[in-house]
Amino acid sequence: MIKCMGKKVEINIVDGVKLGEAIKGKIKDEQGTKDKFKIFFNRDSKDKNIFPKGVQYFLRIFRGNDGRKYKDHKIINRETGKITHEEKGERIFNMKKVNIKNSRGLNLVGDLYTVDSDKLVVMSHGFNYDRHEKNEKFSKIAKRLSEAGYNALPFDFSGSGESDDSPLTIANYTDDLKSVIKWAKDKGYKDVILFGASLGGLVSFLAYDKNIKAIVGLAPSTDKAESDWRDKHFSQEELKKFEEKGQINYASKGIRDYIVIDKQYIEERENLNQKKVLENINCPVLLFHSDDDKFVPMSVSENAVEIIGNKAELYFTKSAGHAFLNHIDEVCDKMIKWLEEKI
């Protein structure tokens, strides 16, 4: 049973049917309206978006005193009648999926969080993830940016998430981001800001042009890989396949089963010249780094600030690891305040 805008709508769900499709079909049939919303479950699992078996889902959408949309929703076990999940007053953000063509003719998929502003933050994910990042990290950051008055666009690099297939190379990722930046300018966004995590941070610097207003990097890997980098990321069998076939299938931490990594990626990471990457950056830069980062040493960002000069700032934190999962609010608070000062 779906309770929508105060009206109850009965939906018979067949096991394995996507909830979004079921709601869309029923609401359209019953009320003659267009698809207004989709509900997603288990995004972290391989069978995401599947409506759980044997439950009822109740939803109420309403406007708060501030004029914004909110929702109350709960899930009830049909057999026991007990509420298994309930949330009240959750903010609904204006978000739509967008498709962007890169210069190679491939489709890139993003989630565009929209507000009444000409400022856009383009968000580039890290190695082996997708536009949601670990534990929905990018989705959370995008919502905070939206609340602060910035449009936000986390997107899937080619070969990741829902974007078209393509082997992972830094050159391909850089082309993807440049294509997204061009799309943003063509759409009329005046102030384009780049936000990148780890590998996405490196790509943000590589895709920089004079129209970029600011860059924010979350533990960006802007220097060449360390001597033990291969052994940290790849098994001996995988390294052998690189030599024999030039590519490997690598287990994904996103929604895909695997991503395809080209041998070129290893060569790019190991031959990276940090000075060449950063010496022409001429916009405000904010870098986040933690003292216990096991993948990208904090010295990488310390050196980056020296190369970029007085336009760059390093925000140092403790015990945040490489992913900053327990420090998202801290990152957002600092970033939003910094953007207000710089943009």
* Residue 160 sits in the same domain as residue 264: yes
Strand partners, 29: none
pLDDT in tens, 174-187: 999 999 999 999 99
Which pLDDT does position 52 carry in this prediction?
54
Tell which of 91, 123, 151 closes a domain: 91
Give yes or no: residues 124 and 223 share one domain.
yes
Q: State whether 14 and 146 are in the same domain.
A: no
Same domain, residue pair 48 and 181: no
CB 253 within 8 A of CB 159: no
Please name which of 169, 124, 165, 195 lies closest in space to residue 269, comparing C-alpha atoms: 169
What token pair was written down for 297?
């040493």
Residues 86 and 103 in one domain: no
Bridge partners of 8, per DSSP, are 3
**pLDDT of 83-105, one tens digit each?**
887 888 777 788 999 999 999 99
Partners of residue 146 on adjacent β-strands: none
Number of compact structural domains in the chain: 2
Is the domain of 112 the same as that of 49?
A: no
190 has pLDDT over 60? yes
* Per-residue pLDDT band at 20 (split at 50, 70, 90): very low
Both 44 and 155 in a single domain? no
* 194/101 same-domain check: yes
Its pTM stands at 0.80
Range of the domain at 76: 2-91
**For all residues of the chain together, what is the average pLDDT?**
85
CA distances from 305 to 216, 299, 302, 311, 317 (A): 12, 10, 5, 8, 16
Dump pLDDT digits (tens) for 118-130: 999 999 999 999 9
CATH number, position 130: 3.40.50.1820
At residue 143, the pLDDT reads 94
The neighbour count for residue 196, using CB atoms within 10 Å, is: 28
Residues 69 and 156 in one domain: no
Q: Please state the rounded mean pLDDT for residues 54-66.
A: 74
Q: Decide if pLDDT at 249 tops 90.
A: yes
Residue 222: HSE in the Cβ half-sphere, 13 Å Cα cutoff: 33
